[in-house]
Chain A
């Protein structure tokens, strides 16, 4: 696999497009087939090979545009470069638009007539054949390269130096200066500055100034390259980083801007959980041989046992009814609890969801018909904002669905159990618990706060199969996993 492709794959992986090795190989074959000439064709083809969901497709498009804007100097073949060169000048301002070459081009143009044949090979057609030969000659010193304005050699040296210092590891914008300096040093900055000083000492001010000027151009090109690399990797890495943090942080502290990342996390989690659940179900399904039924079925075949019949357990489809408190006291958490409900809806077939602060209402359809970005605020809007009344909510819940609760139903209640002094409706909860398979109460508050003030958790807890604190995603996952395991 060629180096640019490897880098592109790496970039995609950072940007949350999990390209497998097989897909990378397919991508290599695709490139082999189509070449780099027709970029929109290549983009379309590669997107089909490498991106497998709509979200990934969006990331892919972004990455492709970024990548092929930047990696102009790599051995991608001549035509592409010209094309990219054109495009670069079309929209070419700002750090994104202009490639390092633009700065280096300046250098080259400045050389005017004196750049001679060096300019010829560098003039936009830096083909892959050039590279090995250049390496073969042994690397010329930075001073020589600057003197001759050899663009190809300079960009190559820049890339090598970038590899050497591990530019791919750049994550934070504060590292920019450091990396720029390191790359320059790896290319031989010290020699050049020494040379400039020497010339000044010897009174050759003019040539010293010229060299210094060219060095500055190179410096800017390097900084551009570092900036771009930062734009490439930092975004992806910080996403991973943020995800990690988000899993552990208290739900109430999560900001709105992380909502989307959170949604993905929750969805992955819910999927993992249900996958696990379906495996358990499968094992249970096997059952053992039902001799009587088998015999009866095979009477027609002279008692030869053709069709066996197995005693099977009914396919156990867990029915889940989830009730979510969306009142002011849990407002900061409610969004994520609802988000979780939403994701459960996506992966489990039989989830019915309810929301309340005062009155309680069903939001199953609301979650089903809308994306989470609309559904969650809509649910809060519709049922939130009133003072919490658990007793009333319980009564409503009972009126709505009590008949449908049976011994396969799991009732999950997400709430802090603070009922503003009114009766929390424990007798109804007791009835529900009797009928349901289990009742799980998840409370975003710490246990030490339970029972303090208007918290009714001490009265509620005895009527729940499980009552636990649940204030981070990790915790939520643990609770639900236990729930599915004991299924």
Chain B
């Protein structure tokens, strides 16, 4: 990306603008992060509460850079055979059978066992070569011909062992397959790791990454986001609903509503042809924002108060 060769402040502004154009509203902090990761060749570890757009950031970056997005979803028990590479056993098997059939022809001129073995050794190395290597997401990202964005999603769900596998990629953009050797990236992918902090990441991993924390957006930013994502919504209603969600986030809830939920809610209200927030409608659609029955019950009595406040807030 050529933007980053410009003057830093300008480049960062431009990144921010391009994101905006791509429908991802971000603050300067995030743009700085993208800029730095390009300049320092560093992966970005993105943390923050669920639903603030961590995964979206990677997707938007891919779009912005016109790069392919390779996504690896992490889970407990994920290992290198699913993330890095695997051998194509079937193909290897086929290969041996061909070898077996051709064995007579191949060994025709060899005299004695020693010479035959010597000759066979020449073929055995073929077994573990690139031809039999099944690339999984990480290897795909490294070997891709074009620029890629590698998204390692919810890294906190994986095990400690897997985290250690990643270290080589994260620091040197290469992986080592014992049977073949080291495979270096053709184009260094832009790497995002996301985490909801369900477990603390290791120091070694953190050291290799830039650390970006995305909090819930403030009211202004959230209005912009809604404007970009649900453009058809009326400005008045937009202000009201953002104000309502912002109030909701200050409440004592099991799960606070995220940006993605605000967007869903905005769309729902559009479907209902709403012009203004009103208590009854909010009550009926509260399940778009809150995902626990307890939370919904607890908020029920608060809704009228918050709706009034939201209406007042939007008028200002």
A282 and B40: CB pair below 8 A?
Answer: no
How many angstroms between the C-alpha atoms of A307 and B212 in the bound complex?
43
Q: A369 on the interface (CB 8 Å rule)?
A: yes
Tell me the bound Cα distance from A26 to B207 in angstroms.
Answer: 10
From A29, A54, A304, A307, contact of B213 by CB (8 A):
A54
Residues of A within 8 A of B44 (CB): 48
Which of chain B's residues have a CB closer than 8 A to the CB of A302?
A: 97
Report if A369-B254 is in contact (Cβ < 8 Å); known contacts: A22-B207, A48-B33: yes
User: Is there an interface contact between A48 and B36, defined as CB atoms closer than 8 Å?
Assistant: yes
Q: Which of A37-45, A153-161, A234-242, A287-295 contacts B (4 or more CB under 8 A)?
A: A37-45
Interface stretch, picked from B55-63, B88-96, B139-147, B238-246, is: B88-96
Docked pose: A30 CA to B203 CA in angstroms: 21
Most buried by A among B42, B199, B207, B254: B207
Q: Is B186's beta carbon under 8 Å from chain A?
A: no
Do B210 and A33 touch across chains, with their CB atoms under 8 A apart? Answer: no
B121 close to chain A: CB less than 8 A: no
CB-based contact B8/A275 at 8 Å:
no
User: Is the Cβ of A48 less than 8 Å from the Cβ of B160?
Assistant: no
A49 close to B (CB within 8 Å): yes
Residues of chain B contacted by A278 (CB below 8 angstroms):
160
Say which residue of A53, A304, A307 sits within 8 Å of B96 (CB atoms): A304
Distance to closest chain A CB from B14 (angstroms): 14
Tell me whether A479 is interfacial, beta carbon within 8 Å.
no
B-chain residues with CB within 8 Å of residue A369 when the two chains form the complex: 254
In the assembly, what is the distance between CA of A33 and CA of B40, in Å? 10
A contact residues around B97 at 8 Å (CB): 302
Residues of B within 8 A of A45 (CB): 32, 36
What mask results when residues 28 to 66 of chain A are scored 1 for a CB within 8 Å of chain B, else 0? 011001110010110011011101111001000000000
Chain A positions 352-373 with a Cβ under 8 Å from a chain B Cβ:
369
Distance in angstroms between the alpha carbons of A304 and B127 in the assembled complex: 14
CB of A109 closer than 8 Å to a CB of B:
no
Give the distance to chain B from A56, nearest Cβ to Cβ, in Å: 8
Interface of A is mostly: helix
Which residues of chain B come closer than 8 Å to A33, judged between CB atoms?
8, 36, 39
In whole angstroms, what is the CA distance A307 to B42 when docked? 38
Asked whether, in the complex, the Cβ of B93 is within 8 Å of the Cβ of A306, the reply is yes
Among A23, A26, A52, the one with the most B-chain Cβ atoms within 10 Å of its Cβ is A52
User: Given A22-B207, A29-B39, A49-B36: A41 and B89 within 8 A (CB)?
Assistant: no
When each residue 195-207 of chain B gets 1 if its CB lies under 8 Å from chain A and 0 otherwise, what string results? 0000110010011
- Distance in Å from the Cβ of A34 to the closest Cβ of chain B? 5
Instruction: For the complex formed, measure the closest distance between the CB of B306 and the CB atoms of chain A, giving whole angstroms.
Output: 23
What residues on A are CB-neighbors of B12 within 8 Å? Answer: 41
Residue of A nearest to B87 (CB): A306
Contact B161 A26 (CB under 8 A): no
Complexed CA–CA distance, A347 and B199 (Å): 7
| A271 interface contact, C-beta 8 A | yes
In the bound complex, CA of A51 to CA of B209 (Å): 10
Docked CA distance A306–B207 (Å):
39
Contacts of B117 in A (CB 8 A): none
Instruction: Pick the residue among A18, A44, A304 that contacts B32 (CB under 8 A).
Output: A44
Interface membership of chain B positions 42-55, coded 1 if the CB is closer than 8 angstroms to chain A and 0 otherwise: 10110100000000
The chain A residue with its CB closest to the CB of B254 is A369
Contact B32 A57, beta carbon cutoff 8 Å: no
Measured CA separation A275–B200 after assembly (Å): 12
Q: B221 an interface residue at 8 Å Cβ cutoff?
A: no
Cβ of B211 and Cβ of A41 under 8 Å apart? Answer: no
In the docked arrangement, what's the CA distance between A34 and B254, Å?
41
Evaluate contact between A304 and B36: CB separation under 8 angstroms: no
A95 to chain B minimum Cβ distance, whole angstroms, is: 31
Instruction: Tell whether, in the assembled complex, residue A49 and residue B210 are in contact, meaning their CB atoms are under 8 Å apart.
Output: yes
Q: How far is the CA of A275 from the CA of B159 in the complex (A)?
A: 11
Residues of chain A with a CB closer than 8 A to B211's CB: 47-49, 51-53, 57
Taking the closest CB of chain B, its distance from the CB of A477, in whole angstroms, is 18
Judging by beta carbons under 8 Å apart, are A48 and B207 in contact?
no
Q: Which of A30, A271, A306 contacts B36 (CB 8 A)?
A: A30
Q: Is B9 an interface residue (CB 8 A)?
A: yes
What are 5 contact pairs spanning A and B, CB under 8 A?
Answer: A30-B40, A49-B210, A49-B211, A304-B96, A306-B93
- The 7 nearest A-B residue pairs measured at CB: A52-B206, A48-B210, A52-B211, A44-B29, A34-B8, A45-B32, A44-B32
Interface residues of B (CB under 8 A from A): 8-9, 12, 28-29, 32-33, 36, 39-40, 42, 44-45, 47, 89, 92-93, 96-97, 160-161, 199-200, 203, 206-207, 209-213, 254
